[in-house]
Structure 1
């Protein structure tokens, strides 16, 4: 009887850790995707800012000339 109890306990522990580890792996995957999207957005914002600064510099030069 004790052996059966231990076997069942081991199975439940295995299932618990299997679910726990799979959830951690999924959350890491989601975080990687989120970071990738944030990085892309930051790059786009920086490019737009550079374009706007160039436009302003051109306007200032044309006004000073």
Structure 2
């Protein structure tokens, strides 16, 4: 999931970009699908969830490499 790594980095810029990256991430990372869907809802309301999602995306990158 190399593309997922790039989208997670862009995710720190804004919640809007994060929504797009989560949609693309769903295609390549099955385990991250649920967390991304929830993140889309919370990201609209605040930036803290975006910061937390960045950590989740980093962990997801490791799990994707293992897959």
Task: Judge same fold: TM > 0.5, yes or no.
Answer: no
Q: Which has the higher helix share?
A: 1
Question: Looking at both structures, which has the greater relative contact order when contacts are Cα pairs under 8 Å and sequence separation is at least 6?
Answer: 2
Task: Work out which of the two has the higher radius of gyration on C-alpha atoms and give 1 or 2.
Answer: 1
What TM-score do the two structures reach when normalised by structure 1? 0.29
What TM-score do the two structures reach when normalised by structure 2? 0.28
